[in-house]
Amino acid sequence: MPVPDRPPTQGSLLKTILVFLAGLGIGAIGGDWARFLSGLAPEYNSATAISEITAFVEKNRVWPTSWQALGRQPLDRVKVDWSVEIHSCDRHDVMMSVAPETGGFFTYPHSERQLGDLWKVVLKIQTDQACDTVKARR
């Protein structure tokens, strides 16, 4: 014998609302974790790129023009400004030259220090060039 349809009680309606809200909360937290985890690889790949570009600039005294100039395959989800001119760039240019495709560094804590070290290398080259220019004029 079928059970007759009964209207939902206040208790079952409250339970339904609570389950719905819990589901929304879990979904939001899960989404945050997914975004966090998806940002790890591009940020750490960007850190690798900064290290390799710093070593290249120290050795060659010029900015690399491509991944091939660095002698490697492109790193996934990393944006590099290959057009930086060592002799005319400023600190802002260098600090913005390498970034994860996600738009910024949110999980990698050493990015600012690493980019600052790259700027110090560029600044030393610029200073050396200025000194050489002054010496040449004498």
- Residue 17, pLDDT score: 76
pLDDT along the chain (138 residues), means of 10: 61 74 68 55 92 97 97 94 96 96 84 96 93 76
- Residue 38, pLDDT score: 52
Structure tokens at 68: 């091939």
- Residue 125, pLDDT score: 96
- Residue 56, pLDDT score: 98
- Residue 3, pLDDT score: 59
Distance of CA 52 to the CA centre of its chain: 15
**Residue that is written with structure tokens 């400004």 in the block:** 81
- Residue 37, pLDDT score: 52
- Residue 15, pLDDT score: 75
**Residue environment code for 78-98, b if the CB has 16+ CB neighbours within 10 A, otherwise e:** bebeeebebeebeeebbeebb
